[in-house]
Amino acid sequence: MTHSLRKTLGPMLMGSCLALGLGAAAPAGAQELRIGFVAPLTGIFAQVGKDMQDGFQLYLDQNGGKLGGMTVKFIVEDEQGKPDTAVTKAKKLVLQDKVHMFIGGLLASSGYALAPVSTAEKTVYISSVAAADDLTQRDLGKYPLFLRTSWTSSQPHHPLGQWACDQGYKKVISIAADYAFGYEVAGGFQKAFEDCGGQVVQKIWPPLGTKDFGPYIPSMKADADAIFTVMVGPMALQFPKQLRGAGNKKPILGGGTSYDEFALPFMGDEVIGDVSALHYSAAIDTPKNAAFVKAYRTKYNKVPSYYSENNYTTAQWIDEAIKQAGGKWPGPEEFVKIMQGLKIDSVRGQISMDDMRNPVQTIFIKKVEKKKMFGYEKDELWNTVIKTYPNVSQFWTYGKEKFLAQPVYNRDFPPCKFC
């Protein structure tokens, strides 16, 4: 038994090793554009990772698997939601698959971990979701081959602070997930809101992944006009439900991820009327977005989230860059330069890139409404756009030098002056 097993297993193992070896040594065809994609496909963020991948894949499929005339070899790797694994997988893409660029990374921590790989391995890295502010701010100098097609965490929340002032809100409570992304989102909102005369009177930091807000809700100050929230994943579903359940009827202003289309379909009617800000809404009423939502929904049977749109647009951006380079890979430095110079007419509107390689784009203030849209029959929750702020850069109205002189938003900055 053991002997015969060994006899059959031996050649099989040899064969598979050979096959793997051959598979790894992909022919370096002149017309092939190799793109690596790093997204969480297992673990708690697996569904977000799927949205990211689907967005990119949809653009590829609509364009016959080609970007800018080059046939694309699209290699997806699972980062498991861990920065350490993201680095390993990015290195695999660079060393083994010899990709021209790698894209993705979900969490801010993954973005921070991946950017140095691009410098060390001299390969382009495009952050299509990871929003960590400093990547395109104070740290950019370290990453010459890095660029971002998505957003910085604070970018949509500066306008939201302004908008809150315009509504006449004077005192706001901030409750935000206790990690870097939460600090940056809440910081952006607080900075802009206090600069136009508002006051953040209380800051609460529940840990990432909190499901029971029982200890936090009763401690909220009663004299506030509104509540600003930064919720991520399952937190986004729980918080509005529990807040309303506790009888608190104050208006909610949400950080982008508190109400993005990834969470919205799973929410109840209690969120109707809640306002949030982001650089995309599935309910943008333009023919381009309508076509995108319908195509995405037909193919994947769900409403696209900003994760999907950002990656779709990333593919479009690369498409136009390669076109401009004459249908061939221009080399990493040149590619970054071309990407930076492009103006994209994307699903979410006109986008360009600032000199720190972060998009300048429209920010949407959105209100959750239950209605029919794009000809779908059922009443559904949509993020109806109630105000747009066009051409918002990551520095808002502060100017680059002044903005970069302050520290990156963190747990203690801006300080809670009115607490």
Residues making contact with another protein (CB under 8 A): 2, 20, 24, 41-42, 77-78, 80, 82-85, 87-89, 91-92, 95-96, 107-109, 112-113, 115-116, 119-120, 132, 142, 179-181, 208, 410-411
The distance of closest approach from Cβ of residue 134 to another protein in the complex, given in angstroms and rounded to an integer, is 9
The distance of closest approach from Cβ of residue 180 to another protein in the complex, given in angstroms and rounded to an integer, is 5
Place of tokens 């909220």: 220
Residue 3 or 249 having the CB closest to another protein: 3
The distance of closest approach from Cβ of residue 409 to another protein in the complex, given in angstroms and rounded to an integer, is 12
Identify whether the C-beta of residue 204 lies closer than 8 Å to the C-beta of residue 220: yes
What does the alpha-carbon distance between residue 208 and residue 184 come to, in Å, rounded to a whole number? 14
Residue 18 or 95 having the CB closest to another protein: 95
24's tokens: 């790894």
Residue 178 or 195 having the CB closest to another protein: 178
The distance of closest approach from Cβ of residue 150 to another protein in the complex, given in angstroms and rounded to an integer, is 17
Residue 180 or 322 having the CB closest to another protein: 180
Identify whether the C-beta of residue 77 lies closer than 8 Å to the C-beta of residue 104: no
Residue 39 or 322 having the CB closest to another protein: 39
Residue 115 or 160 having the CB closest to another protein: 115
Closest CA to 208 of 182, 242, 178, 176: 178
Tell how strand 199-204 and strand 344-346 pair up. Answer: unpaired
What does the alpha-carbon distance between residue 406 and residue 101 come to, in Å, rounded to a whole number? 32
Amino acid at 275: V
The distance of closest approach from Cβ of residue 338 to another protein in the complex, given in angstroms and rounded to an integer, is 27
What does the alpha-carbon distance between residue 252 and residue 231 come to, in Å, rounded to a whole number? 12
Identify whether the C-beta of residue 336 lies closer than 8 Å to the C-beta of residue 369: no
Residue 131 or 315 having the CB closest to another protein: 131
The distance of closest approach from Cβ of residue 47 to another protein in the complex, given in angstroms and rounded to an integer, is 14
The distance of closest approach from Cβ of residue 36 to another protein in the complex, given in angstroms and rounded to an integer, is 11
The distance of closest approach from Cβ of residue 79 to another protein in the complex, given in angstroms and rounded to an integer, is 10
Residue 77 or 309 having the CB closest to another protein: 77
Looking at the chain, the number of H-run helices and the number of E-run strands are: 11, 15
Closest CA to 167 of 194, 198, 202, 192: 198
Which pairs from 295-299 meet CB under 8 Å and 24+ separation?
295/58, 295/62, 296/54, 296/55, 296/58, 299/54, 299/58, 299/61
The distance of closest approach from Cβ of residue 412 to another protein in the complex, given in angstroms and rounded to an integer, is 9
Sheet with 70-78, strands from edge to edge, namely: 66-67, 70-78, 32-39, 101-104, 124-127, 146-148
Q: How far is CA 172 from CA 114, 165, 179, 262, 417, in A?
A: 36, 10, 20, 26, 12
Residue 99 or 303 having the CB closest to another protein: 99
What does the alpha-carbon distance between residue 296 and residue 301 come to, in Å, rounded to a whole number? 7
